[in-house]
Every structure is written in structure tokens, then in C-alpha cells.
Copies of this chain bind each other. A is one copy, B any other.
């Protein structure tokens, strides 16, 4: 029986899981994210323990915070890029795990991983083109195009798209690079900076939520006119327990497109076009597992990675 290990490497914690899908998780371990060496060794020890002679690992999937070098054929594929996370910049995740485990190792970003999991087991099953948006400490977007993660010379960073502002809103935004990009307007820290209250504690009737919905509606507009997904899933901590935002985001998208484009998904079934994820908070670790499965399948089929 195939045995897959998935690791979601997050900014504050890592989740390692062993299994083959949402209903078949054999083991799960939570580790704090600390200095890179210490953290990777702790993850490596968990995976070594799981890699038993009687039931060896088939493949490993790592879904990590980014930015990551994911360019096909890059000599530094799987290496973390410039990041403000202490000491993590240029940590080569690919090299670490490939040197220690004699099985296929797949690496992608946490949000692309979550998109893969949603496509395989969650709210995007059966779709070839969809977007997974997470709104939390930052805003990140994973794109699946024709069944595969989409990336050109970099993975998508649509949280840093600069957008049209809501009428009358001149707050400068909270992104240190772009001010009022999507992340600078809709992330948890942006909400807190604007309102003075943690996003989780902000009352449902705060006008700030309307501005968050506007920013996410603008992001949806950009997705429609660029990659035109069949569905947009929006998850992450900021939106959990905030179901009332979804009708508002849909309304903002519809108002923004203003009847342009003959797209059935948008014009006829908006309730199915912008939806919460199907796997909830498990999309992250399950994404790492989905990547392990995909990586094994790709190599088993003899396709170049």
C-alpha cells in the first residue's frame, strides 16, 4: 500500500501527516516553526520515524510558505526566496529532503498545495481551472490551469496586485511594499491596522468588512479577466466564521464586472463561483499530501518533473 508523507511548513507551525487522503490519515504531528536548521531536523526526524522498513514512504510532499523557486529545471528549485522570516531566506528545502530520503520529493507553496487538495478532495473536484485564495496573515493565490499549478517565471503573487479602491477610501494600506494592494487591504494585519481590533474580534457590522469584501471582489475581477477560473475558493483565518462576507464579495465582483463578459459561471451561478473551501483548515496539510501523490504519479509515469 502506498504511504505518503505531507508537510505543511507554515510561518508559525508545521503539520506533518502520513496517509493517502482526508479519510486515510494514519499519523499527524505538529511542530513549531523555529530556526531553519532546527525545524527541518525536527521534520526530518518525524519523516524518518514514519519511513519504516515494513511500510516505507512512497513519496514526500512539502507545501511551504513562499516565495519559493519553483521554476522547472532551476538548479535552485525548492529554495525559499527573499523573505522577512528570520534566517529562512534562501533555505533550500528541496536539497534538504532530497539528500535525506530516497523517495520522490515534491515541493510547492502552501497555497498551491491547498489548491491541489481542494481539486482532489474538496471544493474544486472535477474542475480543470480554478483559483484558491487564502486570506490570513497575508493574501495568497494558487492557480490551477488545465489541471496543473500555473506559473510562469514565478508562482502567482496575486495578493500583491494593486487594485482599484472603493469610492472614498483613501486609507494608505498596510503592505510594506505596495500599501493598498489586496494584502495591504484585506489581510488580518491590515484589518487590525485599520480598525485597531484583531480581525477575529471585529464586529460583523463594522464598515471595515465592506472594504475587505471590496478588495476581495477586485481580486476576483482580476482573476476573471486574466485566467478566467471556473471557480474561486476563498479560505484562510480571516474569513473563517465570516460566512456573511461571501454574498458581499460576490456582489462586489458582479458590480465591478458590470455585465461585461458572457461567462455562465459569473452571470448565472455566482453562488457556485465564489465559495469557501471544502476542506477548511485541513487544505494545507492535505495539500502537501496531494503533492506527494502527484509527485509519485508523475515520476511513476516517467514524465519529467
Q: Which residues of A contact B (CB under 8 A)?
A: 67, 81-82, 129, 143, 145, 150-158, 160-165, 177-178, 180, 218, 221-222, 224-230, 256-265
By a CB distance below 8 angstroms, the chain B residues around A157 are 224-225, 260-261
Interface contact B228-A161, CB-CB below 8 Å: no
A152-B129, A228-B154 known; A178-B258 Cβ under 8 A: yes
Q: Which of B67, B177, B226 contacts A222 (CB 8 A)?
A: B226
Q: Is the Cβ of B152 less than 8 Å from the Cβ of A229?
A: yes
- Which residues of chain B come closer than 8 Å to A259, judged between CB atoms? 177
- CB <8 Å contact, A153 and B82: no
| Further 7 A-B residue pairs, CB within 8 A, beyond A67-B262, A152-B227, A158-B226 | A143-B226, A157-B225, A158-B225, A161-B226, A164-B164, A164-B180, A226-B227
A254 CB to closest chain B CB, in angstroms? 12
Chain B residues, Cβ within 8 Å of A227: 150, 152, 156, 226-227
- In the assembled complex, the Cα of A228 lies from the Cα of B143 at a distance in Å of 12
B145 close to A152 (CB less than 8 A): yes
CB distance from A87 to the nearest CB of B (A): 17
Q: Is the CB of A156 within 8 A of B82?
A: no
Closest chain B residue to A262, Cβ basis? B81
